[in-house]
Chains A and B, each alone.
Chain A
C-alpha cells in the first residue's frame, strides 16, 4: 500500500528542514565559540588546533552514531525496496519461471500491451475506481457536514460511520456476497419491496462491477467522513462569523466558505483514493478469484499480476505488467496533482 499524504506535507517539511538547518548552524557556532573560549584559557596556538582535531573526530563519531540510528530502516529500504524494484525491472526483460531465465528483450512488454485481457483489467480498475471516488467523496463530504452541524450525537455518528472501514475488506467482501445475492440478499429484497428494480449484482458480468463499487463505497465512506470532519473543524470560525454579519444563510455559508476551504482535502482524498483504487486487489480476489469471475468482469490490474505471477508462474510477464501498472499509477497521480492544484 502506498500513501501520498507526504506530498501534502512535503513543502511544509522542506520549509521546516530549511528553518531547522538555519537554527542548527547557530547552535553549532555557539558550541564552537564556547569551545574556543575554553581553549583560550590554555595555550592558545596549540589549543585551537587540538580542539579542531577533537571537534572533527567527535563530529565523525557522532555521525556514525546517527547512522546506527538509521541502520534498521535503511537496511529495509535497500533489501525490501531498492533491490526488488531494480530486480523487477531486470526480470521484465526475461522469460522466467523463477529458476530458468532467458533474455527476450521487450517481448514481455509487447505481450502485455497487446493483451486484450490486460486492457480489460485496466478498464475494470479505472471503472470501479472512478465511480467509487465520484460517489464517495461528495457523499462523504455531505455527511461530514451534517455530522459537523448537528448538536447531539456527533461522536456517536462518527463511530457508526467509521465502523465499516475498521473491518477488513476481505471480511466485508464475504458479507457482501450475501448482502447482494440476487435471490437471497437483503438489498434486492429491500429494492423489490419498495417497488424498485433489482440487480443481478455479482452473478452477471454486466452488473458485477457495480457490486464491487457498492462495497467500495460502503467501506471507504467512513474514511472520507473522518478526513472531511477533521478539516471542517479546522476552518476558522471567524470566516463564518463575518459571513453571518453579512447576512449569508446556512446554505450560502456552506457553498461559499466551506467548500472552497475544503479543496485541499478533496485533492488529498482524490489522490489517495486513486492510488488505492488502482491497486485494488483484495476484495475482487475474494469475490471473483484471481481471474475476476464472472467472465473476468471484475479482474483488476493487481489480480492480473497475481494470476500471471503466482498461478501461472510467468515472472517475466508479471514483472512487465507491474512496471506498466507502476507507470500508470505515477502518471495518473501526477495528473491528479496537477488537476487538483489548478482547482486550488
Chain B
C-alpha cells in the first residue's frame, strides 16, 4: 500500500470515529425529541427505545403550551437576562475603558481587586445577599437577579484587554478638539467596541440564562420562575413518572437556545475559546 492511500485510509478512520462518537453524544437529544412526540410515552416509556415513535402525536407539546408556565418562565428569563446583559456589559465597558486608558491613583491596585473577585464563588455570598435583599423587601422580584450582575471581573478583564489594543492617539486627537472624557468614550471608543461587546453579550447571556442556585434561593413564587427553575421544579415533582411530557418540556426549553447557537455558532465558539467560560 503506498503512502497516499494509507493517509486516505487513516483519514477515513478518523472521520468515522468522530462520526460515531458524535452520534453517541447526540443520542440523548434525538431520543428526547422522539419520546416527546410519542403518544404512548406516559407512565411507562416505550420499550424497547425507538427512533421513530409508534404513534406520532403532538399531544405532549400541546400540554406543555396549554399549561402556560413554560411560556411565563420564558418571559421571566427574557426579562432577567436582557436586563442583566445590558447592565453587565455597560458597566464592564466603562470600567474596562477606565482601566485601559485612564490615569488615576491606585489604578493597578483597583484592577487587582477586580481580578480578585474572580476567585470568590457564589456560595459564601449566598446567605448575606439573601438577607440583604430581604431587608430591602426585594425578595421575590427580579432585582436580586439583575443587580448583582453589575460586577463581572471576567468581562472587565476582557474589555481592558480589548481597549489596550486600540491606539491612544485617538484620545489625544479628540482631546485636542476639546472633548471631555465622557464624550471621548461615547463618541470615539464605544463605536469601535463592537466585537468585544458582541462577545460580552454572548457570554453574559449564557451565564445569566443558565444561572440556577441564586434564583432558586431568591424566587419562591412560581409566577416568577425562570426557565431552569421551572424545569427543576417540574422534574423534582414528577421524577421519571411522566416520560413523554418531561421530554417534550425539555425539548421546548432547549430548542430556542439550540437554534440561536446554530445561527451564531462561530461567534459563540470564539467567545468561549476567548474567555474559558463554563456554561
The 8 A CB mask of A2-21 against B (1 = contact, 0 = none) is 11111011100100110011
Q: Report whether B11 and A151 are in contact in the complex, using a CB–CB cutoff of 8 Å.
A: yes
Q: In the complex, what's the smallest C-beta–C-beta distance from B76 to chain A, in angstroms?
A: 15
Q: Which single member of A65, A72, A158 contacts B95 (CB below 8 Å)?
A: A72
Least CB distance, A198 to chain B, in whole angstroms: 13
The answer on a CB contact under 8 Å between A163 and B104 is no
Query: Counting CB contacts under 8 A, is B137 at the interface?
Result: no
Among A294-315, those with CB < 8 Å from B are: 301-302, 305-306, 309-310, 315
Contact check: which of A27, A153, A171 meets B253 at CB < 8 Å? A171
Q: Which residue of B lies closest to A154 (CB)?
A: B18
Q: Does B118 lie within 8 Å of A80, measured CB to CB?
A: no
In the docked arrangement, what's the CA distance between A63 and B103, Å? 7
Please name all residues of chain A whose beta carbon is closer than 8 Å to the beta carbon of B222 when the two chains form the complex: none
Number of interface residues of B (CB under 8 A): 111
CB distance from A202 to the nearest CB of B (A): 9
Q: Which of B10, B15, B25, B31 contacts A221 (CB 8 A)?
A: B25
With contact pairs A150-B14, A174-B231, A227-B273 given, residues A69 and B94 touching in the complex (Cβ less than 8 Å) = yes
Shortest CB–CB separation between residue A270 and chain B, in angstroms? 12
Q: Are A167 and B254 in contact (CB under 8 A)?
A: yes
Let me know if A158 and B276 touch, CB within 8 A.
no
Chain A residues lying within 8 Å of B258, measured Cβ to Cβ, are: 163, 166-167
Cβ of B194 under 8 Å from chain A:
no
Q: Is A268 an interface residue (CB 8 A)?
A: yes
User: Are A143's CB and B110's CB within 8 A?
Assistant: no
Least Cβ–Cβ distance between A193 and chain B, in angstroms: 8
Query: Which of B119, B127, B272 has the most chain A CB within a 10 Å cutoff?
Result: B127
The B225-279 residues at the A interface (CB cut-off 8 A) are 227-228, 231-232, 234-236, 239-240, 243, 246-247, 249-250, 253-254, 257-258, 261-262, 265, 268-269, 272-273, 275-279
A9 to B234, CA, bound (A): 42
Nearest-neighbor residue (CB-CB) of B23 within chain A: A160
Is the C-beta of B131 less than 8 angstroms from some C-beta in chain A?
A: yes
What's the least CB distance linking B102 to chain A, in Å?
4
Q: Which residues of chain B are within 8 angstroms of A226 by Cβ–Cβ distance?
A: 269, 272-273
Q: A157-B22, A169-B210, A178-B243 are in contact. Are A2 and B126 (CB under 8 A)?
A: no
User: Are the CB atoms of A178 and B25 closer together than 8 Å?
Assistant: no
Q: Which residues of A contact B98 (CB under 8 A)?
A: 66, 69-70
Q: Known interface pairs A77-B113, A171-B228, A174-B246. Does A66 touch B151 (Cβ–Cβ under 8 Å)?
A: no
- Scan residues 65-93 of chain A and give those whose CB is less than 8 A from a CB of chain B: 65-67, 69-70, 72-77, 79-81, 83-85, 87-88, 91
- Asked whether A330 is an interface residue with its Cβ less than 8 Å from the other chain, the reply is yes
Identify which of A112-120, A204-212, A320-328 touches chain B.
A320-328
Partner of B111, one of A17, A179, A181: A17
Chain B, 16-53, CB within 8 A of any chain A CB: 17-18, 21-22, 25-29, 31-32, 35, 44-45, 47-49
The answer on a CB contact under 8 Å between A326 and B121 is: yes
Report Cα–Cα, A310/B164, bound state, in Å: 44
Contact of A309 among B126, B157, B210, B243 (CB under 8 A): B126
A24 to B100: give the CA distance in the assembly, Å: 11
Are B231 and A85 closer than 8 Å at their CB atoms?
Answer: no
Docked pose: A153 CA to B265 CA in angstroms:
15
Closest chain A residue to B153, Cβ basis:
A6
Q: What residues of B have a CB within 8 angstroms of the CB of A325 in the complex?
A: 121, 123-124
Which of A42-50, A102-110, A255-263, A275-283 contacts the other chain?
A275-283
Chain B contacts for A179, CB-based, 8 A? 27-28, 31
The yes or no answer to B59 lying at the interface (CB within 8 A) is no
CB pair B97 A69 closer than 8 Å: yes
Interface residue B4 (Cβ < 8 Å from any Cβ of A)? no
Return A321 CB to nearest CB of chain B, in Å. 8
> Contact between B94 and A70 (Cβ–Cβ < 8 Å)?
yes
- A286 B236 Cβ-Cβ under 8 A: yes
Decide if the interface of chain A is mainly helix, strand, loop or mixed. Answer: helix
Instruction: Report A-chain residues with C-beta under 8 Å of the C-beta of B265.
Output: 158-159, 162
Of A16, A21, A174, A230, chain B has the most CB atoms within 10 Å of the CB of A174
Is A128 on the interface with B (CB-CB < 8 A)?
A: no
* Structural contact, A310 and B91, CB atoms closer than 8 A: no
Binary B-proximity of A183-201 (CB < 8 A = 1, otherwise 0): 1111001000000000000
Residues A163 and B29 in contact in the complex (CB < 8 Å), given A6-B157, A69-B98, A174-B235: yes
A69 CB to nearest B CB, Å = 4
Q: Are A10 and B18 in contact (CB under 8 A)?
A: no
Query: Would A315 and B148 be within 8 Å (CB), given that A70-B110, A150-B14 are in contact?
Result: no
Contact A175 B32, CB 8 Å, known A2-B121, A84-B124, A160-B22: yes
Closest 9 CB pairs of A and B: A76-B151, A84-B125, A69-B98, A84-B128, A87-B128, A184-B45, A76-B150, A230-B273, A72-B91
Interface residues of B (CB under 8 A from A): 10-11, 14-15, 17-18, 21-22, 25-29, 31-32, 35, 44-45, 47-49, 87, 90-92, 94-95, 97-98, 102-105, 107-108, 110-111, 113-115, 117-132, 134, 147-148, 150-151, 153-154, 156-157, 160-161, 164, 168, 180-182, 185, 206-207, 209-210, 212-213, 216-217, 227-228, 231-232, 234-236, 239-240, 243, 246-247, 249-250, 253-254, 257-258, 261-262, 265, 268-269, 272-273, 275-279
Additional A-B contact list (16), CB under 8 Å, known A1-B121, A17-B108, A166-B261: A1-B207, A24-B103, A91-B127, A150-B14, A166-B257, A168-B279, A171-B228, A171-B250, A172-B28, A178-B246, A179-B28, A220-B278, A250-B10, A272-B276, A322-B126, A325-B123
Can you list 8 contacts pairing A with B, beta carbon distance less than 8 Å? A24-B103, A72-B150, A77-B117, A171-B231, A171-B254, A184-B240, A326-B123, A329-B121
